[in-house]
Amino acid sequence: MDKAIFAAGCFWGVEAAFRNVPGVLSTRVGYAGGTLQNPSYRDVCTDQTGHAEAVEVTYDPTRVSYDDLLGEFWKHHDPTTLNRQGPDVGTQYRSAIFYLDAAQEAAARASKDRLEKSHVFRHPVVTEIVPAETFWEAEEYHQRYLEKRGLAHCHTA
């Protein structure tokens, strides 16, 4: 089992998208990239902690590659909007890849370069590629939020 951490706006839709990928064993929503220890949703929503709403993906690399997960990441949000996804605005909604090792960093940077060179987007890709530090699990009511409401197949766009 390997892990990956992605931030692509509100974590509910991002989690639902990754849960539907064959080879993904589990997901957890939470907070990454900030300074406050053990932040709550209320803390992160102040836009003062530096955290992004993020999803930790546990996957079987014999069934799905990290590159495939990167493809899913790019597919389910707009990586050209700084600190915004749809109606959600603030640094907690930024696009970020939190790498766990040098191989993930290299893959993420190569994937971003390929995306930029493809000219799929008219604007520059602003996704951060930064080392993962502590991933703080979000409150239980956020876990599988859309699934609990019968909306598990809704995706961010």
Task: Catalogue the active-site residues.
Answer: 10
Residue positions counted in the chain = 157
> Which two three-digit tokens encode residue 49?
């902690």
> Which two three-digit tokens encode residue 50?
């530096």
The alpha-helical segments, DSSP class H, found in the chain are 11-19, 41-45, 66-75, 102-118, 145-148
Q: What angle do CA 135, 138, 140 make, to 5 degrees?
A: 140
H/E element, 30: strand 24-32
Identity of the amino acid at 1: M
For residues 55 and 29, is the Cβ–Cβ distance under 8 A?
yes
133: closest CA among 1, 2, 5? 5
> Which two three-digit tokens encode residue 111?
């994937």
